[in-house]
Structure 1
């Protein structure tokens, strides 16, 4: 019996290791393919040579067979920032999805469950249709600042509301998020109703659908620092996240105060989500469906679940971005529409699939 159990453990470890290696290779190949497509089509082999030559400072890859000098600028200055953005945002949404599902002990939780999306939408709507006033410091940051400020303010308000009357619990967090989210959505609708700005309303609509069109190298450092720092932190918090799935009573016997960790994790997740919302708008279903897929493949242990979700989330959003650019000729579809169209059937399938359990 012990030998059979040990064999099963080794098989699972081997499968997990192979899956991680496959995801890393798939991300690398998808990145090269993604920078090859667009209004200017660049052969895959030449794109690979350019990427290798640039990232290794000329030690690998050759530019001798590249047909045009402009290919390098197109790939490295225009398309590569978008690929990096898709990877980082996909990782960030999946990370926050895993954390939020553990915090509230609810498989339906996603990065936006605590009203973060509604707060970001309110901030962005205010910035687009009302503005901060010309010549002010805030006006220089525009929609990104408005969305981030709205998301963070909403998160803090939810945290304060859920803390009233005692310690923070998963039920109080969800209920507070629903109430504050509904309030922010109503205020956004009110601003849109009274706004006399057709172009602004169009911008708000497009922003709420999500887009990576505004990505650039100047925005990558902030996104990379916040998302990667969050990933690094939570990769070492798998024991606490596992304990959250067991509930508060079990945590007390283990000497862990989940209320403190819930507050801390929520603030960090809100910071990451607020940053992503500020730069890309609302991109749904990534933080909801990716943790479910990884949990079904690798189990609910966050030691394995977290790295798998990060890689699969990044890969998923990279391909969603590719599809948003190639499905309709000369038209870029909002990426949030595609993630919802792809994610909804997958989630429905996982709901009706027998034997799937959130906790194991």
Structure 2
């Protein structure tokens, strides 16, 4: 009887996964169809099929304008892929960090990564690397990435002082480093005599997918997908982290070493995403909770579900950022916060919700 119930549950899980994949595909097609120039859905499908199959499927005879090809393939498709990858990456990092620090309020930015990235980006925008410097060609993305990585390394070092890194020490170290980086960012802004630069820092801190391009996509795709591939096979360790260090010792698992490894990988993923798209909040916080409510606390099912839900969520957040106000693109971080805050409040007051399952 019990095996039959497990089988039925497994079948439902795979049905939900396939439904999410289908929803992502349809949402992606819809996303590239709309904007300041609305393209009919059928023509969008023809263009995409023709492009993806190298002309074997889809006809361009019914496409009204050649400009539709450039709009879809060169402008909107990289943006959709950006949204999918960043949504997957933030959800993955949020799921992992909640297990690493055993805290349901953890997100990808809890360890000072966001503050470190903000400091690096603020420095790049308002101070710069010098017009003749080699690093100047990388600009804001380079500054944000370096800031995020240095903040993560500092948290690792600080949390390891006086013994092994525990979940409590990691959180406290992240809070301290985050406050320190934020104060230095504020100091740079205070002394900067650059109104346009301050405006750029503010806009960057809200998050945006406007900088998406095919040139930048491969780097992000490799880092995010490699991270996803690795954590899909780490469910046993992630489940053990929820049980605590004492249970891990009896199972022969060194959680301290895994915490450091997972922190380095999540910092690399988060730093890359923040460097290219700025600060996009709440995705890594609420999506793991929603996924846990749907798929349960077992990371073998939770991680794939969170990846797909995160990608779908950010695609739709990007759609809303472009269509809510006519001819105006809202920063996507505002959309995710407006949607995420009520959802998270609902989950807090919902009776019977439990972090562990």
Scaled by the length of structure 1, what TM-score is found? Answer: 0.98
Query: 1:78-227 to 2 correspondence within 5 Å?
Result: 78-227=75-224
Q: Among 330, 351, 354, which residue is 2:351 paired with?
A: 354
Q: Where do 4+ consecutive residues of structure 1 move more than 2 Å? A: 5-8
Q: Among 55, 72, 91, which residue is 1:58 paired with?
A: 55
Q: Compute the displacement of 1:73 (Å).
A: 1.2
SS at match of 2:65: coil
For 2:341 and 2:8, how far apart are their aligned partners in 1?
32
For 1:70 and 1:133, how far apart are their aligned partners in 2?
39
1:236 corresponds in structure 2 to 233
SS at match of 1:251: helix
For 1:241 and 1:91, how far apart are their aligned partners in 2?
18
For 1:107 and 1:150, how far apart are their aligned partners in 2?
25
Pairwise CA RMSD: 0.7
SS at match of 2:272: helix
For 1:298 and 1:84, how far apart are their aligned partners in 2?
25
For 1:53 and 1:251, how far apart are their aligned partners in 2?
52
Q: Compute the displacement of 1:63 (Å).
A: 1.1
**Structure 2 residue 325 is matched with structure 1 residue 304:** no
For 1:43 and 1:11, how far apart are their aligned partners in 2?
40
Q: Compute the displacement of 1:217 (Å).
A: 0.2
1:282 corresponds in structure 2 to 279
For 2:24 and 2:56, how far apart are their aligned partners in 1?
22
1:258 corresponds in structure 2 to 255
For 1:41 and 1:297, how far apart are their aligned partners in 2?
35
Q: How many pairs align?
A: 357
For 1:242 and 1:298, how far apart are their aligned partners in 2?
14
**Structure 2 residue 235 is matched with structure 1 residue 245:** no
For 2:224 and 2:234, how far apart are their aligned partners in 1?
15
Q: Compute the displacement of 1:8 (Å).
A: 2.5
For 1:58 and 1:26, how far apart are their aligned partners in 2?
25
1:14 corresponds in structure 2 to 11
SS at match of 2:300: helix
Q: Compute the displacement of 1:11 (Å).
A: 2.5
For 1:254 and 1:56, how far apart are their aligned partners in 2?
49
**Structure 2 residue 10 is matched with structure 1 residue 34:** no
Q: Compute the displacement of 1:58 (Å).
A: 1.4
Structure 1: runs of 5 or more not aligned: none
Q: Compute the displacement of 1:7 (Å).
A: 3.3
2:292 corresponds in structure 1 to 295
Q: Compute the displacement of 1:169 (Å).
A: 0.3
For 1:240 and 1:262, how far apart are their aligned partners in 2?
10
2:315 corresponds in structure 1 to 318
Q: Compute the displacement of 1:86 (Å).
A: 0.2
Q: Compute the displacement of 1:15 (Å).
A: 1.6
Q: Encode CA deviations 1:130-160: one digit per residue, 9 max, x unaligned.
A: 1110111110000000000000000000000
Q: Compute the displacement of 1:323 (Å).
A: 0.2
Q: Compute the displacement of 1:231 (Å).
A: 0.2
Scaled by the length of structure 2, what TM-score is found? Answer: 0.99
Q: Compute the displacement of 1:260 (Å).
A: 0.3
1:23 corresponds in structure 2 to 20
For 1:40 and 1:325, how far apart are their aligned partners in 2?
11
